[in-house]
Amino acid sequence: MKFSLNIWRQKGPDEKGSFMTYEARDVSAGMSFLEMLDGVNQGLIAKGEEPVAFEQDCREGICGSCSLVINGIPHGPDRGITTCQLYMRRFPDGAAITIEPWRARAFPIIKDLVVDRRALDRVMQAGGYISVNTGGAVDGNVLLISKDQAETAMDAASCIGCGACVAACKNASAMLFVAAKVSHLALLPQGKPERTRRVKAMLGVMDREGFGSCGNQNECEAVCPKGISVRFIAALNREYLRAGVVELGLPAEPESPHAESA
């Protein structure tokens, strides 16, 4: 098989980028999309040219590294997978394929198709955890958690942090990402004590990082490789409203242990 690739090339964060066209030859149907790109790069390197930079690691759809907008859809034309799980048999021979990086102000381009997604880490650092010290935890069966609740928490927790939701959103909003983490922790008894602070802090950082607002268009859900539902966004909104109510009703809430950093 043979493909014509239209790839975004950009030397560095502050450089001007542009599209370049490359031919991918001798591609077999059983090759993954990234292996096809590997092939193109091997050709470039052998010629002494700089290969196309793109992010990848586990190549089995779980690490969340790979991040390409393929013909206008993050992670490409198939649903429920990451780019690394996309195979070339999905494309007709001779097709032209346009490859762009995740585009968002919060994800500045480092080079070519590689973007800086540390904004998501900073959102997590604001409160995407349960502050429990190592050691001294009570027995795992002390707090019973119903099967349904554990399964729903797991649905939310399966987020791989790839950022496709941001890339797909018309507003470059990170709501599905934040919703997944906030919902996961709010659903479990262990996460409840900090839920008020958590939702406010995480959304605060989300805003500061320059993500857009949620327009409830649900495009994020459609490209999410883990199929995380927008129902969690409603749950996040609810958590946020709840936090507002708690703060109104309990002005004398004890000082949060994180007050100095929140």
User: Which 180-239 positions form the footprint of other proteins (CB under 8 A)?
Assistant: 184-185, 188, 190-191, 200, 203-204, 206-207, 210-219, 221-223, 230-231, 233-239
Cβ atoms of residues 153 and 184 within 8 Å = yes
Nearer to other proteins by Cβ, of 94 and 159: the residue is 159
* Least distance from other proteins to the Cβ atom of residue 240, Å: 5
In the complex, minimum distance from the CB of residue 55 to other proteins, in angstroms, rounded to a whole number: 7
Residue from 4, 129, 193, 227 touching other proteins (CB under 8 A): that is 129
x/- site string to other proteins, residues 34 to 53, per CB under 8 A?
xxx-xx-xx-xxx-xxxx-x
Any contact of residue 23 with other proteins (CB under 8 A)? Answer: no
Give yes or no for residue 247 binding other proteins (CB under 8 A).
Answer: yes
Sequence-ordered strand ranges (E) for the chain: 3-9, 18-24, 69-70, 73-74, 96-100, 109-111, 114-115
The CA distance from 198 to 204, in Å, is: 10
Q: In the range 138-157, which residues lie near other proteins by CB under 8 A?
A: 138-141, 143-147, 149-151, 153-154, 157
261 is a contact residue toward other proteins (CB under 8 A): yes
Residue 3 or 114: which CB sits closer to other proteins? 114
CB atoms near residue 130 (< 10 Å): 13
- DSSP class per residue in 20-53: EEEEE-S--TTSBHHHHHHHHHHHHHHTTPPPPP
Q: Pick from 64, 82, 164, 228 the residue near other proteins by CB under 8 A.
A: 64
Indicate whether 111 belongs to the interface with other proteins (CB under 8 A).
yes
115-120: list long-range contacts, CB under 8 Å, 24+ apart: 115/55, 115/67, 115/163, 116/13, 117/67, 117/161, 117/163, 119/174, 119/209, 119/210, 119/211, 120/161, 120/163, 120/174, 120/177
- Interface residue with other proteins, options 1, 9, 62, 95 (CB under 8 A): 62
